[in-house]
Structure 1
Protein backbone atom coordinates (compact mmCIF):
# COMPACT_ATOMS: atom_id res chain seq x y z
CA UNK A 1 0.00 0.00 0.00
CA UNK A 2 1.34 3.46 -0.98
CA UNK A 3 1.15 6.21 1.66
CA UNK A 4 -1.30 9.01 0.86
CA UNK A 5 1.44 11.68 0.91
CA UNK A 6 3.43 9.83 -1.73
CA UNK A 7 0.30 9.37 -3.85
CA UNK A 8 -0.47 13.08 -3.59
CA UNK A 9 3.10 14.01 -4.60
CA UNK A 10 2.85 11.74 -7.65
CA UNK A 11 -0.50 13.29 -8.53
CA UNK A 12 1.01 16.80 -8.27
CA UNK A 13 3.88 15.83 -10.58
CA UNK A 14 1.50 14.37 -13.18
CA UNK A 15 -0.70 17.48 -13.09
CA UNK A 16 2.32 19.80 -13.38
CA UNK A 17 3.81 17.78 -16.25
CA UNK A 18 0.50 17.71 -18.14
CA UNK A 19 -0.04 21.42 -17.56
CA UNK A 20 3.46 22.18 -18.87
CA UNK A 21 2.73 20.18 -22.03
CA UNK A 22 -0.43 22.22 -22.55
CA UNK A 23 1.48 25.46 -22.01
CA UNK A 24 -0.41 26.29 -18.83
CA UNK A 25 0.81 26.97 -15.34
CA UNK A 26 -1.11 25.90 -12.30
CA UNK A 27 -0.88 28.30 -9.40
CA UNK A 28 -2.52 26.73 -6.39
CA UNK A 29 -1.62 26.85 -2.74
CA UNK A 30 -3.28 25.50 0.37
CA UNK A 31 -3.49 27.73 3.44
CA UNK A 32 -5.18 27.72 6.80
CA UNK A 33 -7.65 30.58 6.80
CA UNK A 34 -10.30 32.18 8.93
CA UNK A 35 -13.65 32.41 7.14
CA UNK A 36 -15.68 35.60 7.67
CA UNK A 37 -18.84 37.06 6.23
CA UNK A 38 -19.80 40.59 5.20
CA UNK A 39 -23.37 40.78 4.00
CA UNK A 40 -23.81 38.02 1.42
CA UNK A 41 -20.06 37.87 0.67
CA UNK A 42 -17.51 35.51 2.22
CA UNK A 43 -13.87 36.37 2.82
CA UNK A 44 -10.94 34.27 4.00
CA UNK A 45 -8.23 35.86 6.15
CA UNK A 46 -4.95 33.88 6.16
CA UNK A 47 -4.80 32.41 9.66
CA UNK A 48 -1.11 33.17 10.15
CA UNK A 49 -2.00 36.90 10.01
CA UNK A 50 -4.85 36.72 12.56
CA UNK A 51 -3.95 37.94 16.05
CA UNK A 52 -7.42 37.79 17.63
CA UNK A 53 -11.10 38.47 17.05
CA UNK A 54 -13.19 40.84 19.16
CA UNK A 55 -16.65 42.35 19.10
CA UNK A 56 -16.81 45.91 17.76
CA UNK A 57 -18.11 48.15 20.53
CA UNK A 58 -19.11 51.78 20.35
CA UNK A 59 -16.62 53.77 18.28
CA UNK A 60 -16.56 57.28 16.89
CA UNK A 61 -18.04 57.48 13.41
CA UNK A 62 -15.41 60.04 12.34
CA UNK A 63 -12.35 58.06 13.42
CA UNK A 64 -11.78 54.42 12.67
CA UNK A 65 -9.81 53.53 15.77
CA UNK A 66 -10.40 51.19 18.66
CA UNK A 67 -8.71 50.70 22.00
CA UNK A 68 -7.20 47.23 22.25
CA UNK A 69 -5.78 46.78 25.75
CA UNK A 70 -4.41 50.33 25.75
CA UNK A 71 -3.14 50.13 22.16
CA UNK A 72 -4.75 52.45 19.60
CA UNK A 73 -5.59 50.35 16.58
CA UNK A 74 -6.86 51.60 13.19
CA UNK A 75 -9.52 49.56 11.43
CA UNK A 76 -11.40 49.44 8.15
CA UNK A 77 -14.95 48.30 7.56
CA UNK A 78 -14.83 45.75 4.74
CA UNK A 79 -18.46 46.58 3.95
CA UNK A 80 -17.44 50.15 3.06
CA UNK A 81 -14.13 49.25 1.44
CA UNK A 82 -15.70 46.75 -0.96
CA UNK A 83 -19.00 48.63 -1.42
CA UNK A 84 -21.24 45.91 0.01
CA UNK A 85 -24.81 47.08 0.49
CA UNK A 86 -27.51 45.74 2.73
CA UNK A 87 -28.42 46.19 6.34
CA UNK A 88 -25.61 46.48 8.85
CA UNK A 89 -26.10 43.98 11.68
CA UNK A 90 -26.40 45.19 15.28
CA UNK A 91 -23.32 43.19 16.21
CA UNK A 92 -20.13 43.42 14.19
CA UNK A 93 -16.74 41.85 14.80
CA UNK A 94 -13.17 42.93 14.28
CA UNK A 95 -10.51 40.53 13.05
CA UNK A 96 -7.19 41.90 14.30
CA UNK A 97 -4.47 41.16 11.75
CA UNK A 98 -0.75 41.81 11.78
CA UNK A 99 1.85 42.22 9.06
CA UNK A 100 5.46 43.43 9.41
CA UNK A 101 4.88 44.56 12.99
CA UNK A 102 1.83 46.67 12.10
CA UNK A 103 -1.62 45.74 13.40
CA UNK A 104 -4.98 46.72 11.96
CA UNK A 105 -8.59 45.68 12.37
CA UNK A 106 -10.91 44.34 9.68
CA UNK A 107 -14.58 44.85 10.55
CA UNK A 108 -16.80 41.96 9.43
CA UNK A 109 -20.40 40.93 10.09
CA UNK A 110 -19.83 37.29 11.01
CA UNK A 111 -17.01 35.04 12.16
CA UNK A 112 -17.40 31.59 10.59
CA UNK A 113 -14.26 29.87 11.88
CA UNK A 114 -11.12 28.19 10.66
CA UNK A 115 -11.10 26.95 7.11
CA UNK A 116 -8.42 25.13 5.15
CA UNK A 117 -8.56 26.50 1.66
CA UNK A 118 -7.06 26.07 -1.78
CA UNK A 119 -6.06 29.48 -3.15
CA UNK A 120 -6.49 30.23 -6.81
CA UNK A 121 -4.91 33.52 -7.93
CA UNK A 122 -7.14 36.12 -9.51
CA UNK A 123 -7.19 36.37 -13.27
CA UNK A 124 -5.92 39.32 -15.28
CA UNK A 125 -9.31 41.05 -15.16
CA UNK A 126 -9.29 41.14 -11.36
CA UNK A 127 -5.62 41.93 -10.64
CA UNK A 128 -6.52 45.59 -9.94
CA UNK A 129 -8.69 44.74 -6.92
CA UNK A 130 -7.00 46.18 -3.86
CA UNK A 131 -6.94 44.03 -0.77
CA UNK A 132 -7.84 40.79 -2.56
CA UNK A 133 -5.15 38.16 -3.03
CA UNK A 134 -7.05 35.26 -4.55
CA UNK A 135 -10.20 33.20 -4.41
CA UNK A 136 -11.42 29.82 -3.29
CA UNK A 137 -14.54 27.73 -3.65
CA UNK A 138 -16.43 26.88 -0.49
CA UNK A 139 -18.12 23.55 0.16
CA UNK A 140 -21.44 25.17 -0.80
CA UNK A 141 -20.07 25.99 -4.25
CA UNK A 142 -19.89 29.71 -3.50
CA UNK A 143 -16.75 31.71 -4.17
CA UNK A 144 -14.94 33.33 -1.25
CA UNK A 145 -12.31 35.98 -1.79
CA UNK A 146 -9.01 35.70 0.06
CA UNK A 147 -7.87 38.92 1.66
CA UNK A 148 -4.41 40.31 0.97
CA UNK A 149 -3.44 41.22 4.54
CA UNK A 150 -0.22 43.13 3.71
CA UNK A 151 -2.13 45.36 1.27
CA UNK A 152 -5.00 45.91 3.72
CA UNK A 153 -2.72 46.74 6.66
CA UNK A 154 -0.88 49.23 4.45
CA UNK A 155 -4.16 50.72 3.25
CA UNK A 156 -5.59 51.09 6.76
CA UNK A 157 -2.47 52.76 8.14
CA UNK A 158 -2.23 55.14 5.14
CA UNK A 159 -5.92 56.10 5.42
CA UNK A 160 -5.62 56.86 9.11
CA UNK A 161 -2.35 58.77 8.64
CA UNK A 162 -4.14 60.94 6.07
CA UNK A 163 -7.09 61.51 8.41
CA UNK A 164 -4.79 62.49 11.27
CA UNK A 165 -2.78 64.97 9.19
CA UNK A 166 -5.80 66.51 7.43
CA UNK A 167 -6.84 69.88 8.86
CA UNK A 168 -10.20 70.00 10.65
CA UNK A 169 -13.22 70.87 8.51
CA UNK A 170 -13.42 74.43 9.92
CA UNK A 171 -9.82 75.13 8.84
CA UNK A 172 -10.48 73.72 5.35
CA UNK A 173 -13.55 75.97 4.94
CA UNK A 174 -11.68 79.04 6.24
CA UNK A 175 -8.99 78.47 3.61
CA UNK A 176 -11.51 79.16 0.81
Structure 2
Protein backbone atom coordinates (compact mmCIF):
# COMPACT_ATOMS: atom_id res chain seq x y z
CA UNK A 1 0.00 0.00 0.00
CA UNK A 2 1.53 3.32 -1.00
CA UNK A 3 0.54 6.78 0.05
CA UNK A 4 1.63 10.27 -0.79
CA UNK A 5 4.31 11.84 1.32
CA UNK A 6 3.35 15.39 0.40
CA UNK A 7 0.36 17.13 1.94
CA UNK A 8 -2.49 18.32 -0.28
CA UNK A 9 -3.52 20.79 2.44
CA UNK A 10 -2.57 24.45 2.67
CA UNK A 11 -2.90 26.38 5.92
CA UNK A 12 -2.28 29.87 7.20
CA UNK A 13 -1.36 28.65 10.69
CA UNK A 14 2.22 28.57 11.90
CA UNK A 15 4.04 25.20 11.86
CA UNK A 16 4.21 23.29 15.12
CA UNK A 17 7.58 21.96 16.28
CA UNK A 18 8.66 19.11 14.00
CA UNK A 19 6.24 19.93 11.17
CA UNK A 20 7.78 20.22 7.71
CA UNK A 21 6.50 22.60 5.05
CA UNK A 22 5.20 20.60 2.11
CA UNK A 23 5.00 17.36 4.07
CA UNK A 24 2.65 18.08 6.98
CA UNK A 25 1.01 21.11 5.36
CA UNK A 26 1.88 23.79 2.88
CA UNK A 27 2.27 26.78 5.19
CA UNK A 28 1.22 29.90 3.29
CA UNK A 29 0.30 33.50 4.01
CA UNK A 30 -3.33 34.52 4.33
CA UNK A 31 -2.99 36.52 1.11
CA UNK A 32 -1.65 33.50 -0.84
CA UNK A 33 -4.42 31.33 0.55
CA UNK A 34 -7.17 33.81 -0.27
CA UNK A 35 -5.86 34.22 -3.80
CA UNK A 36 -6.01 30.43 -4.30
CA UNK A 37 -9.52 30.23 -2.76
CA UNK A 38 -10.73 33.00 -5.09
CA UNK A 39 -9.23 31.13 -8.07
CA UNK A 40 -11.17 27.96 -7.13
CA UNK A 41 -8.00 26.01 -6.37
CA UNK A 42 -9.43 23.98 -3.47
CA UNK A 43 -11.93 21.13 -3.37
CA UNK A 44 -12.78 22.30 0.13
CA UNK A 45 -11.65 25.01 2.50
CA UNK A 46 -12.58 26.13 5.97
CA UNK A 47 -11.54 28.41 8.79
CA UNK A 48 -10.65 27.01 12.21
CA UNK A 49 -9.26 28.94 15.17
CA UNK A 50 -8.67 31.97 12.97
CA UNK A 51 -6.58 30.01 10.46
CA UNK A 52 -7.56 28.96 6.95
CA UNK A 53 -7.18 25.37 5.73
CA UNK A 54 -7.82 24.11 2.20
CA UNK A 55 -7.38 20.91 0.22
CA UNK A 56 -5.67 21.67 -3.09
CA UNK A 57 -7.23 20.28 -6.27
CA UNK A 58 -3.84 20.23 -7.99
CA UNK A 59 -2.18 18.29 -5.15
CA UNK A 60 -4.92 15.64 -5.16
CA UNK A 61 -4.64 15.30 -8.94
CA UNK A 62 -0.86 14.87 -8.59
CA UNK A 63 -1.36 12.05 -6.07
CA UNK A 64 -3.96 10.37 -8.29
CA UNK A 65 -1.65 10.66 -11.32
CA UNK A 66 0.94 8.63 -9.40
CA UNK A 67 -1.72 5.96 -8.70
CA UNK A 68 -1.41 6.56 -4.97
CA UNK A 69 -3.97 6.82 -2.19
CA UNK A 70 -4.78 10.35 -1.14
CA UNK A 71 -5.76 10.55 2.53
CA UNK A 72 -7.33 13.81 3.66
CA UNK A 73 -7.42 14.85 7.30
CA UNK A 74 -10.36 17.26 7.26
CA UNK A 75 -12.93 18.61 9.69
CA UNK A 76 -16.69 18.20 9.46
CA UNK A 77 -17.01 21.30 7.24
CA UNK A 78 -14.59 19.64 4.82
CA UNK A 79 -16.49 16.35 4.86
CA UNK A 80 -19.74 18.10 4.02
CA UNK A 81 -18.05 20.16 1.29
CA UNK A 82 -16.48 17.11 -0.35
CA UNK A 83 -19.83 15.31 -0.25
CA UNK A 84 -21.04 18.06 -2.63
CA UNK A 85 -18.31 17.25 -5.21
CA UNK A 86 -18.16 14.46 -7.77
CA UNK A 87 -15.43 12.70 -5.78
CA UNK A 88 -16.42 9.33 -4.38
CA UNK A 89 -14.08 8.71 -1.44
CA UNK A 90 -14.58 6.54 1.60
CA UNK A 91 -15.31 8.57 4.70
CA UNK A 92 -13.63 7.40 7.91
CA UNK A 93 -13.86 9.21 11.23
CA UNK A 94 -11.08 8.41 13.71
CA UNK A 95 -12.10 9.55 17.17
CA UNK A 96 -10.77 9.54 20.69
CA UNK A 97 -12.82 7.36 23.05
CA UNK A 98 -14.09 10.49 24.81
CA UNK A 99 -13.58 14.23 25.05
CA UNK A 100 -11.78 13.64 28.37
CA UNK A 101 -9.25 11.32 26.73
CA UNK A 102 -8.78 13.79 23.86
CA UNK A 103 -8.15 16.60 26.33
CA UNK A 104 -5.55 14.51 28.17
CA UNK A 105 -3.77 13.67 24.88
CA UNK A 106 -3.75 17.29 23.73
CA UNK A 107 -2.45 18.54 27.07
CA UNK A 108 0.34 15.93 27.02
CA UNK A 109 1.42 17.11 23.53
CA UNK A 110 1.92 20.62 24.93
CA UNK A 111 1.35 22.24 21.52
CA UNK A 112 -1.80 24.21 22.36
CA UNK A 113 -2.55 27.37 24.25
CA UNK A 114 -5.44 27.06 26.68
CA UNK A 115 -7.62 29.05 24.28
CA UNK A 116 -6.77 26.86 21.25
CA UNK A 117 -7.18 23.72 23.37
CA UNK A 118 -10.71 24.75 24.35
CA UNK A 119 -11.58 25.57 20.73
CA UNK A 120 -10.31 22.17 19.60
CA UNK A 121 -12.22 20.34 22.33
CA UNK A 122 -15.41 22.23 21.53
CA UNK A 123 -15.05 21.49 17.81
CA UNK A 124 -14.25 17.82 18.51
CA UNK A 125 -17.31 17.50 20.73
CA UNK A 126 -19.54 18.92 17.99
CA UNK A 127 -17.88 16.74 15.34
CA UNK A 128 -18.30 13.59 17.46
CA UNK A 129 -22.00 14.34 17.80
CA UNK A 130 -22.43 15.19 14.10
CA UNK A 131 -20.55 12.03 13.07
CA UNK A 132 -23.52 9.99 14.33
CA UNK A 133 -25.59 11.27 11.38
CA UNK A 134 -26.56 8.18 9.35
CA UNK A 135 -24.65 7.84 6.08
CA UNK A 136 -22.11 10.57 6.84
CA UNK A 137 -19.23 8.16 7.49
CA UNK A 138 -18.57 4.73 6.04
CA UNK A 139 -16.61 3.77 9.15
CA UNK A 140 -15.97 5.22 12.60
CA UNK A 141 -12.79 4.05 14.32
CA UNK A 142 -12.49 4.65 18.06
CA UNK A 143 -8.80 5.14 18.81
CA UNK A 144 -8.67 3.61 22.28
CA UNK A 145 -5.84 1.25 21.26
CA UNK A 146 -3.42 2.64 18.66
CA UNK A 147 -2.44 -0.74 17.17
CA UNK A 148 -6.06 -1.88 16.90
CA UNK A 149 -7.15 1.45 15.35
CA UNK A 150 -4.24 1.34 12.89
CA UNK A 151 -5.08 -2.23 11.84
CA UNK A 152 -8.73 -1.29 11.34
CA UNK A 153 -7.70 1.60 9.10
CA UNK A 154 -5.10 -0.48 7.22
CA UNK A 155 -7.56 -3.33 6.61
CA UNK A 156 -10.27 -0.96 5.40
CA UNK A 157 -7.86 0.71 2.97
CA UNK A 158 -6.60 -2.69 1.77
CA UNK A 159 -10.22 -3.72 1.04
CA UNK A 160 -10.78 -0.49 -0.90
CA UNK A 161 -7.61 -1.07 -2.93
CA UNK A 162 -8.78 -4.61 -3.77
CA UNK A 163 -12.17 -3.25 -4.89
CA UNK A 164 -10.53 -0.55 -7.01
CA UNK A 165 -8.12 -3.04 -8.61
CA UNK A 166 -11.02 -5.42 -9.31
CA UNK A 167 -13.01 -2.62 -10.93
CA UNK A 168 -10.05 -1.67 -13.17
CA UNK A 169 -9.70 -5.27 -14.42
CA UNK A 170 -13.39 -5.52 -15.39
Shorter-chain TM range is: under 0.3
Q: TM-score, normalised by structure 1?
A: 0.25
Q: In proportion to residue count, which structure has more helix? A: 2
Q: In proportion to residue count, which structure has more strand? A: 1
| Larger-gyration structure (1/2) | 1
